[in-house]
Amino acid sequence: MNDRIIHTPPISVTDLAMLKEKGSEVTVDNTFEINEVDLAHEVHPFKAFLFFSRFSGSVDGKEYEFRKCYSRGCTHNLCPHVSQAVMIANRYLQRDYKALENAGVEVEKKLFTLENMLAEFEGKRDEFVGALIIDDYINMAKGGDDISVDVSLEYVPAVENFANYKERRIFFAINYTVTHLGKIHICQRCLACYAIDNEEAERETAKELANSRASGIYARFDEANIKYNKVFFE
């Protein structure tokens, strides 16, 4: 799973960075989408909000567009509160900006803002507290902390609600159950998704992207001597 495939047109931030490193002219712009979804969690469906960045631009003059999910938020304990989800999304987005910057790609470093969230979540400002992401635990392990991670995968069905239509999607989600200093913390990430109505054309590419992203995290676990179980989407 360590061989990286460069997709043309690009479907990930990694593709953009690798294309630039190979000498392509790469331009990047991004806009944000926050879409409500109906998620199926065991027998209890619930509504949540997914935070997307839609990347667009050109590679050697040819236009591209893709989007990436950075976090999800809701108002109960099945996922982070929306205010926390904003911060988590921005942490991952800033990491992607750094990867693009290191590759020589210029991009305006826009961030998700709580002010642009839906009005019903304005009351969550008082709960705007720190939220650790898996990168934090990797850095702690590199510093000598004893950390173990139980990795589990989910295929999360959802109905994404756009302005004028709904779209059924499957999200490749990865859960990291982290044990650190005797305490357990759960980090969640959406690694890719595809439209159910276009499953035949999209599923394999989405699965490949999800596994590639998972493989990248596992390599960082190895470097930090984190104990974990290696699993991939099938």
Query: For residue range 178-210, what is the model confidence (pLDDT) as tens digits?
Result: 999 988 888 888 999 999 999 999 999 999 999
Gap between the Cα atoms of 228 and 230, Å rounded: 6
Mean pLDDT of all residues in the chain? Answer: 86
Gap between the Cα atoms of 40 and 111, Å rounded: 29
Predicted pLDDT at 127 = 39
Predicted TM-score (pTM) above 0.75 = no
How distant, in Å, are the alpha carbons of 96, 138, 176 from that of 134? 15, 6, 8
Is 60 exceeded by the pLDDT of residue 130? no
Task: Write out pLDDT tens, residues 51-91.
Answer: 899 999 999 999 999 999 998 887 665 566 777 888 889 99
Task: Write out pLDDT tens, residues 137-193.
Answer: 999 999 999 999 999 999 989 888 777 888 899 999 999 999 999 888 888 889 999
Tell me the residue ranges of DSSP E strands in the chain. 26-41, 44-59, 62-73, 147-161, 166-180, 183-195, 227-228
In 3-state terms, what secondary structure has residue 48?
A: strand
